[in-house]
């Protein structure tokens, strides 16, 4: 029998073998109920005998549906994303979709380029923590179904993780522990999440009459956290809330290097629960909801693909404080 060579058996060969039109072969696969049972049977037999497998690419070109979606993230290796990616995969799989993964390297231009490269082979796109401008995002969204994660653009379906709630809780937690002077170590100034977190600490600290200062770590990294320690200490604070867990770990390392005990002498809170309870002492942090965000974004996209309607939906996921081992009573309390 004909082995499956590349560029294999086509619909025409099956049609000829079964003595029907090409369209019937097509229908036998996509709308069998439109054909008489015997015809379907005959076609399937012929197909089987010839080793026919429908060509995905041709079908996609014709229908515009490829059964693929794309997910673009700024950095696959940032521990915040893998769980989200995984959740998105699982959800896409439930609808029998395959997912393209794109990595923008935190670069708006590369993100734009990726969007272009995926266009034409995916039915919809999920953009997580995009670095792209609102304009470009809107432009792409006009071309095809697009869902945003952690970016608030009016009119475009989006899933927002509200780290503000968790950060607020963290601030309250520190206040209860007796801390009166705290610092927020901020992340990328252009990041939507950073703005949100910063605003949340400010608000919560204000309500409780805490002294609040800011130290900037521009890039969220272990190094940046490490280097922020001097500035933090200079503010006379007894606790710090970091933009994310990786930065928080850098701060912890810097503190340890100076012989400052955590949580005895100083308290540290991270954000995103990227590390889990993995570290010693385990990091007090804010839950990330990234798994739910990934799942929700995909199911939203699937809905859009079904209904062809792109309504202006905005889902907000609240976060919460996870108290672990890096926060304690303020010294002298």
Contact indicator for 249, 279 with CB cutoff of 8 Å: yes
How many Cα atoms within 13 Å fall on the side-chain side of residue 277? 4
What are the residue ranges of helices labelled H in 95-133? Answer: 108-118
Q: What Rg value do the Cα atoms of the chain yield, rounded?
A: 26
Contact indicator for 100, 71 with CB cutoff of 8 Å: yes
- Which of 58, 142, 143, 316 is the binder for DNA (CB under 7 A)? 58
Binding segment for DNA among 2-10, 70-78, 122-130, 176-184 (CB under 7 A)? 2-10
Q: How many residues does the chain have?
A: 333
Nearer to DNA, 14 or 262 (CB): 14
- Nearest in space to 296 (alpha carbons), one of 98, 87, 74, 94: 87
Rounded Cα distance between 153 and 35, Å, is 47
The footprint of DNA on this chain (CB under 7 A) covers a number of residues equal to: 34
Q: Is 36 in the site for DNA (CB under 7 A)?
A: yes
Cβ within 8 Å of residue 12, ≥6 positions away: 22
Nearer to DNA, 63 or 333 (CB): 63
Nearer to DNA, 7 or 209 (CB): 7
For binding to its own copies (CB under 8 A), which residues are involved? Answer: 1-2, 4-8, 51, 53-58, 60-64, 66, 68, 75-79, 81-83, 85-86, 89-90, 96, 98-103, 105, 116-121, 139, 142-144, 222, 246, 249, 252-253, 256, 275-282
Minimum CB–partner distance for residue 187 and its own copies (Å): 16
Query: φ, ψ for residue 239 (rounded to 5)?
Result: -155, 150
Q: Is 154 in the site for DNA (CB under 7 A)?
A: no
Minimum CB–partner distance for residue 139 and DNA (Å): 18
Q: Is 7 in the site for DNA (CB under 7 A)?
A: yes
Rounded Cα distance between 173 and 280, Å, is 20
Q: Is 68 in the site for DNA (CB under 7 A)?
A: no
Rounded Cα distance between 318 and 52, Å, is 50
Nearer to its own copies, 118 or 184 (CB): 118
Name the residues that contact DNA, by CB under 7 A. Answer: 1-5, 7-8, 10-12, 19-24, 26-27, 29-30, 34-36, 38-40, 52, 54-55, 58-59, 61-63
């Amino acid at each position: 029998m004909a082995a499956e060579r590349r560029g294999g058996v086509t619909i025409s060969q099956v049609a000829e073998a079964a003595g029907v039109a090409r369209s019937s072969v097509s229908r036998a696969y996509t709308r069998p109920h439109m054909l008489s049972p015997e015809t379907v049977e005959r076609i399937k037999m012929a197909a089987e005998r010839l080793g026919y497998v429908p060509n995905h690419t041709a079908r996609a070109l014709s229908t515009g549906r490829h059964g693929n979606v794309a997910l673009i993230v700024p950095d696959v290796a940032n521990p915040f994303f893998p769980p989200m990616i995984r959740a998105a995969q699982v959800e896409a799989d439930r609808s029998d979709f395959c997912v393209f993964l794109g990595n923008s390297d935190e670069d708006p231009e590369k993100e734009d380029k990726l969007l272009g490269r995926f266009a034409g082979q995916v039915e919809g796109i999920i953009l997580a923590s995009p670095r792209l401008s609102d304009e470009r995002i809107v432009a792409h969204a006009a071309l095809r179904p697009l869902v945003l994660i952690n970016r608030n653009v009016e009119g475009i379906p989006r899933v927002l993780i509200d780290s503000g709630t968790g950060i607020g809780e963290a601030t309250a937690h520190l206040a209860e522990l007796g801390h009166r002077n705290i610092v927020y170590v901020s992340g990328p100034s252009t990041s939507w999440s950073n703005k949100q977190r910063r605003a949340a600490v400010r608000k919560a600290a204000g309500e409780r009459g805490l002294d609040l200062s800011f130290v900037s770590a521009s890039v969220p990294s272990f190094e940046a956290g490490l280097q922020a320690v001097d500035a933090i200490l200079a503010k006379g604070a007894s606790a710090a809330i970091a933009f994310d867990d990786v930065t928080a770990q850098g701060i912890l390392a810097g503190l340890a290097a100076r012989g400052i005990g955590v949580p005895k002498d100083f308290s540290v809170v991270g954000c995103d629960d990227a590390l889990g309870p993995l570290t010693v002492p385990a990091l007090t942090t804010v839950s990330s909801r990234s798994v739910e965000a990934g799942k929700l974004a995909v199911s939203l996209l699937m809905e859009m693909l079904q209904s062809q309607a792109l309504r202006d939906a905005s889902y907000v996921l609240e976060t919460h404080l996870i108290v672990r081992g890096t926060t304690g009573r303020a010294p002298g309390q």
